Homo-oligomer: A and B are copies of this chain.
Amino acid sequence: MVSEPNGPRPTLEAVAARAGVSRATVSRVVNGGAGVRAAVQEKVRQAVTELGYVPNSAARSLVTRRTGAVAVIIAEPETRVFSDPFFGRQLRGISRELSTADTQLLLLFVEHRDDYPRIGRYLAGGHVDGALMFSLHRDDPLPGMAESAGLPTVYGGRPGWAGAECAPGAAPLLYVDTDNRDGARQAVRHLLGRGRRRIAIITGPLDQTSALDRLDGYRDALGTADPDPRLIADGAFTAGGGERAMARLLDAAPDLDAVFACSDLMANGALRTLRARGRRVPDDVAVVGYDDLEPAAWADPPLTTVRQDVEEMGRLMARLLLRRLGHGGTDAAGLAPVVTEARLVVRESG
């Protein structure tokens, strides 16, 4: 017999009464039976079956403090997550790695700032063993929430909040990133090598380290800490943002002959604007993107871009967290951030 779906769930106490044993004994049996005689275990199991008792892991986790689940939190609204292939690809890597370790992935979005307190309660609530967080912005409350909940966490992208990397005596923050600064340097040096001299940049939001690091790489390649501000525009890491940023750049610096867009989506937006304004790519304006995901291949002309292995980064994040949680008897000592290589891929746009 199973319990009525709509009736109250049978309790541990009811099972204990039915089996004629203590609550603690039922709890021990439900959690594996260690130290309970076989005959007693049998009696408890029979009561569990008769009552249709479903062991509640709220109860179980009071004993084992393990849920077998990991929260993956993307600090972006669901609409952005589903319109940017970066997130889907990173999740693919995470999902496969967690699935292999028989760990449940729970995906959470952040729609509004109002959502943070609720997410904080969930993280503090003992429902997950750890968290993976990505697309964090400066002053994001999520890292603090994970810390005060004592929740092991791995970050996607170098954490950029004040004190993130220098808390004295603290365990190092674990994160996975690519070498964004070097990737940007490669992109801009490539454009310089092709004879371009007025190279603009469409950045991501500058409260994210990935956007800041790529802007630094642009400065490195140009050899100046203080490039012409008319050549810099924020495209918010979206196609529409890239489209509008390109229009602003053309208005401010009509003589530009190249643009480094810090994501393929923004590069696609820039291509639309250049087409609308009658500028030929790459003849009049060379375009280089960043990511090398689907939009780079679909672009017209196909994008020269900086490749980062986003799926592998997802896998590495999940693997770091699983090691941090001691999965498969691994040792959490000596874990450190991972920074993967970026690599220029030359196609037709620049």
Contact = CB atoms under 8 A, between A and B. Distances in A.
A58 interface: yes
Interface stretch (A108-116, A203-211, A221-229): A108-116
Interface string A1-16: 0111111010000000
A301 interface: no
B78 A91 contact: yes
A31 interface: no
Contact of A171 (B6, B59, B85): B6
B107 A67 contact: no
B92 A78 contact: yes
A179 to B, nearest CB: 26
Number of copies: 2
Interface residues of A, number: 63
Interface in A85-124: 85, 87-88, 91-92, 95-96, 99, 102-109, 111-112, 114-115, 118-119, 121-122, 124
A8 to B, nearest CB: 9
A62 B68 contact: no
Given A5-B171, A150-B3, A126 B58 contact: yes
Contact of A111 (B54, B67, B95, B127): B95
A248 interface: no
Nearest to A294: B83
Nearest to A125: B57
Interface in A64-84: 65, 67-69, 71, 78-79, 81-83
A330 interface: no
Contacts of A150: 3-7, 9, 54
B118 A68 contact: yes
Nearest to A59: B62
Contacts of A105: 108-109
A42 B109 CA distance: 36
Contact of A121 (B52, B68, B81): B68
B124 A54 contact: yes
A46 interface: no
A115 B127 contact: no
A3 B114 CA distance: 26
Interface string A252-292: 00000000000000000000000000000000000000000
Sort A-B residue pairs by CB-CB distance and give the 6 closest, nearest first: A82-B88, A57-B125, A107-B107, A58-B126, A56-B126, A106-B106
Interface of A: 2-7, 9, 52, 54-62, 65, 67-69, 71, 78-79, 81-83, 85, 87-88, 91-92, 95-96, 99, 102-109, 111-112, 114-115, 118-119, 121-122, 124-127, 147-152, 170-171
Given A68-B121, A78-B91, A78-B95, 15 more contacts: A3-B150, A5-B152, A56-B61, A57-B125, A57-B126, A58-B127, A60-B125, A68-B118, A71-B106, A83-B88, A95-B111, A99-B114, A104-B108, A106-B108, A107-B109
